[in-house]
């Protein structure tokens, strides 16, 4: 049975309490409250900006809303470059547990050294660090499966290039920040890139968005870009060029295909090349857009321009006879020569047989200024009017400094340097009845007005001469194309090495038109340093021309203008330089 307790009779409770103690307790509580009020005023009013900033630093984030990069399309709407969403892996370092096994697995999945991963987590910003950007979905799934705290994913955009190495030098590529670095991606970066948006949010310690702060700015997607390139022509030209470079054990090669009517670039390819979205161990040799950036002495491909000028000035006619015997000619202290003696040749035969002596004699009948103006008018010595990175102007020295021997050698392609693109462009004057057509890397609708350079009748005369070059007795029978008439000019030039010319290093070149009576395309091929026994332009470059022309004209829907397969001459025909 419980015992009752009389609390009121407790001596402790019955003892009197000093008044000062209760007042002290009340004063202490009041003082503490006043301190809290003061601290609140200090934080909320006096130092509000500082603490607001600290709060924002810790929990407020501005999220970038990436714009979708515009697609690059060929002339028929086939995609050559497009953006796809991909995950990127990031972390809040201070939240990541230092679990050796877990971090080792993470490093293995991301394919980065464990030491590099640890360095990122230790040395970088404690609230954000990229671990690996633009990874495959399978990698992102494996990271998620690890379940490591502080590891997160974010969507970014990555470019895909379906045409691969065939169109690499045209399309180019972007870096991880989606900024164009080469080719069309660099040239038209502003149009393709659009403008990123932004979103201001508050995040918790787990990186989750708690609420939006302020106004959201929507991204503006980049616009699509339609090129003049035909992906079918581009692929075929690249493949045939690659085959030729490998067959002749050459250092490199380039090909350019132009539409005569519109000036559009239908194909521009180089080998070696690279895959734009797989650029590990990329070398400068692969990266160079040689058709635009590399210059060379074009050899005999220059002869038609000298003959066209002489015809235009009335100095000669196609049937005018030129004595080229004995196959050598001394100018000052220097001697020039043909590959073998031809005797008397008509002007037409000078082109057909590629006579250095005949061309030099015709050139020396004219003033240096006349030749310089001709070369300048077709674009030599000038940077192509083409919005493309790396295009060069080549070398055309002022005519006032030309000596007679230099004027003579320039007439057959020594002492002047051009790019392959410039050469292909210049040959359009023979296809367009004397007009030089402006060129474009973007799709053009309708015919374009060209700039007159020579009279139409003389352009037609030279075109007939170019046709004979590809026939029996010419230097390029291997340029003949089944079903289509063609014309063109070979060029074979020693490579410059040091202060002179290398004895056994050459560039083989061919530039031409098709179909010859009503040209639709101009094609130029350059094979750099072939070393498998053949090096003449008629042997190494002309076959690539033949194959490229046939495929291109079929793709463009041009009906064959020849009903019988040409009789290809298989005997080696000497080529003059």
Residue with the bigger pLDDT between 565 and 471: it is 471
pLDDT given at position 198: 75
If you average pLDDT over residues 543-550, what whole number do you get?
97
Strands 79-91 and 129-132: antiparallel
Apex CA 183: angle with CA 180 and CA 188, to 5°?
Answer: 55
Query: Which of 163-167, 206-210, 329-333, 465-469 tops mean pLDDT?
Result: 465-469
pLDDT given at position 568: 52
Burial class of residue 211 in the structure, from the number of CB atoms within 10 Å of its CB (0-12 exposed, 13-18 middle, 19+ buried):
exposed
Strand partners, 471: none
Residue with structure tokens 């002869």?
A: 303
Strand partners, 26: none
Q: Which domains does the chain have, with CATH numbers?
A: 64-163+207-226 (3.90.1310.10), 231-278+296-555 (3.40.710.10)
If you average pLDDT over residues 16-40, what whole number do you get?
83
Burial class of residue 343 in the structure, from the number of CB atoms within 10 Å of its CB (0-12 exposed, 13-18 middle, 19+ buried):
exposed
pLDDT digits (tens, 9 = 90+) for 409-460: 999 999 999 999 999 999 999 999 999 999 999 999 877 899 999 999 999 9
Is residue 168 over pLDDT 70? yes
**Closest-CA residue to 389 (of 238, 171, 83, 164):** 171
27/204 Cα distance (integer angstroms)? 40
Residue with structure tokens 């708690």?
A: 210
Phi, psi of 547 (to 5 degrees): -70, -40
Phi, psi of 85 (to 5 degrees): -75, 135
pLDDT bin (cut points 50, 70, 90) of residue 194 is confident
Strand partners, 487: 513
Q: By mean pLDDT, which of 308-317, 378-387, 505-514 is the weakest?
A: 378-387
Options 82, 88, 231, 300, the catalytic residue: 300
pLDDT digits (tens, 9 = 90+) for 45-90: 776 777 666 666 556 666 667 778 899 999 999 999 987 888 888 8
pLDDT given at position 576: 47
Q: By mean pLDDT, which of 11-25, 90-104, 154-168, 278-292 is the weakest?
A: 11-25
531 is catalytic: no
183/204 Cα distance (integer angstroms)? 43
Give Cβ neighbours of residue 49 (< 8 Å, ≥ 6 apart). Answer: none
Residue 274 contacts residue 286 (beta carbons within 8 Å)? yes
Is residue 343 over pLDDT 60? yes
Q: By mean pLDDT, which of 105-114, 129-138, 150-159, 414-423 is the weakest?
A: 150-159
Residue 414 contacts residue 424 (beta carbons within 8 Å)? no
73/38 Cα distance (integer angstroms)? 66
If you average pLDDT over residues 293-298, what whole number do you get?
94
If you average pLDDT over residues 193-218, what whole number do you get?
69
Q: By mean pLDDT, which of 90-99, 313-322, 452-461 is the weakest?
A: 90-99
What value does the CA radius of gyration of the chain take, rounded to a whole number of Å?
Answer: 37
Tokens of 400: 């006032």
pLDDT given at position 485: 96
Kind plus residue range of the DSSP H or E element containing 291: helix 290-293
Please report, for residues 127, 383, 486, the alpha-carbon distance to residue 184 in angstroms, rounded to integers and kept in the order given.
37, 17, 31
Tokens of 361: 């004699």
What is the DSSP code string of 239-268? Answer: HHHHHHHHHTT-SEEEEEEEETTT-BEEEE
pLDDT given at position 241: 97
Q: Name the DSSP letter for residue 421.
A: H
**Closest-CA residue to 183 (of 193, 171, 167):** 171
Query: Which of 83-87, 261-265, 565-569 tops mean pLDDT?
Result: 261-265
Helix (H, G, I), strand (E, B) or coil at 160: strand
pLDDT bin (cut points 50, 70, 90) of residue 575 is very low
Strand partners, 490: 510
Tokens of 517: 């009576």
Average pLDDT, the chain: 87
pLDDT given at position 286: 87
Q: Name the DSSP letter for residue 432.
A: T
Residue with structure tokens 């009017």?
A: 385
pLDDT given at position 571: 47
pTM value? Answer: 0.81
Please report, for residues 270, 379, 472, the alpha-carbon distance to residue 572 in angstroms, rounded to integers and kept in the order given.
27, 33, 11
pLDDT given at position 114: 87
pLDDT bin (cut points 50, 70, 90) of residue 359 is very high
Is residue 102 over pLDDT 50? yes
Residue 525 contacts residue 512 (beta carbons within 8 Å)? no
Residue with structure tokens 């699509």?
A: 224
Strands 225-226 and 72-73: parallel
Helix, strand, coil fractions of the chain, as percent rounded to 5: 40, 25, 40
Neighbours of 195 (CB within 10 A): 12
Is residue 469 over pLDDT 60? yes
pLDDT bin (cut points 50, 70, 90) of residue 511 is very high
What is the DSSP code string of 496-512? Answer: EETTEEEEEEEEEEEEE
Strand partners, 180: 174
**Closest-CA residue to 354 (of 417, 303, 278):** 303
pLDDT bin (cut points 50, 70, 90) of residue 530 is very high
323/33 Cα distance (integer angstroms)? 117
Q: Name the DSSP letter for residue 440.
A: B
pLDDT given at position 53: 64
Tokens of 133: 């950007």
Tokens of 514: 């098709």
């Amino acid at each position: 049975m419980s015992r009752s307790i009389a609390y009121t009779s407790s001596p402790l409770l019955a003892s009197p309490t000093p008044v000062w103690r209760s007042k002290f307790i009340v004063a202490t509580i009041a003082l503490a409250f006043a301190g809290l009020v003061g601290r609140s005023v200090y934080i909320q009013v006096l130092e509000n900006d500082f603490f607001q900033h600290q709060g924002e630093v810790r929990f407020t984030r501005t999220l970038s809303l990436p714009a979708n990069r515009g697609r690059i399309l060929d002339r028929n709407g086939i995609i050559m470059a497009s953006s796809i969403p991909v995950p990127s892996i990031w972390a809040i370092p201070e939240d990541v547990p230092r679990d050796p096994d877990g971090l080792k697995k993470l490093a293995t999945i991301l394919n980065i050294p464990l030491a590099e991963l640890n360095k990122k987590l230790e040395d970088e910003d404690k609230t954000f660090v990229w671990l690996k950007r633009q990874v495959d979905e399978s990698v992102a799934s494996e990271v998620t499966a690890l379940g490591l705290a502080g590891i997160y994913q974010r969507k970014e955009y990555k470019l895909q290039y379906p045409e691969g190495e065939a169109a690499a030098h045209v399309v180019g590529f972007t870096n991880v920040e989606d900024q164009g670095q080469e080719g069309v991606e660099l040239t038209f970066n502003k149009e393709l890139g659009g403008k990123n948006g932004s979103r201001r949010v508050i995040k918790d310690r787990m990186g989750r968005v708690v609420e939006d702060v302020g106004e959201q700015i929507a991204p503006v997607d980049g616009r699509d870009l339609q090129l003049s390139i035909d992906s079918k022509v581009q692929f075929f030209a690249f493949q045939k060029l690659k085959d030729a470079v490998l067959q002749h054990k050459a250092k490199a090669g380039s090909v350019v295909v132009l539409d005569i009517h519109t000036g559009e670039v239908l194909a521009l390819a180089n080998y070696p090349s690279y895959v734009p979205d797989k650029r590990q161990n990329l070398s400068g040799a692969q990266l160079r857009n040689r058709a635009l950036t590399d210059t060379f002495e074009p050899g005999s491909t220059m002869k038609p321009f000298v003959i066209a000028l002489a015809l235009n000035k009335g100095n000669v006619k196609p049937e005018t006879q030129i004595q080229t015997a004995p196959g050598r000619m001394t100018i000052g202290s220097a001697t020039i020569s043909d590959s073998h003696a031809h005797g008397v040749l008509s002007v037409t035969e000078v082109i057909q047989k590629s006579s250095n002596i005949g061309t030099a004699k015709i050139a020396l009948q004219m003033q240096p200024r006349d030749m310089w103006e001709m070369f300048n008018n077709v674009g030599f010595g000038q940077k192509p009017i083409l919005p493309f990175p790396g295009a060069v102007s080549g070398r055309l020295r002022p005519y006032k400094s030309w000596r007679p021997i230099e004027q003579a050698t320039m007439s057959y392609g020594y002492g002047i340097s051009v790019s392959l693109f410039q050469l292909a462009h210049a040959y359009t004057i023979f296809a367009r009845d004397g007009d030089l057509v402006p060129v474009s890397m973007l799709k053009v609708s309708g015919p374009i007005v060209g700039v007159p350079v020579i009279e139409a009748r003389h352009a037609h005369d030279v075109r007939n001469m170019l046709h004979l070059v590809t026939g029996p007795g010419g230097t390029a029978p291997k340029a003949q194309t089944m079903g289509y008439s063609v014309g063109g000019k070979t060029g074979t030039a020693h490579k410059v090495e040091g202060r002179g010319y290398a004895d056994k290093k050459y560039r083989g070149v061919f530039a031409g038109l098709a179909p010859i009576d009503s040209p639709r395309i101009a094609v130029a091929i350059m094979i750099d340093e072939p070393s498998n026994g053949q090096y003449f332009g008629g042997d190494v470059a002309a076959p690539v021309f033949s194959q490229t022309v046939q495929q291109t004209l079929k793709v463009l829907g041009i009906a064959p203008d020849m009903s019988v397969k040409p009789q290809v001459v298989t005997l080696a025909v000497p080529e003059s330089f």
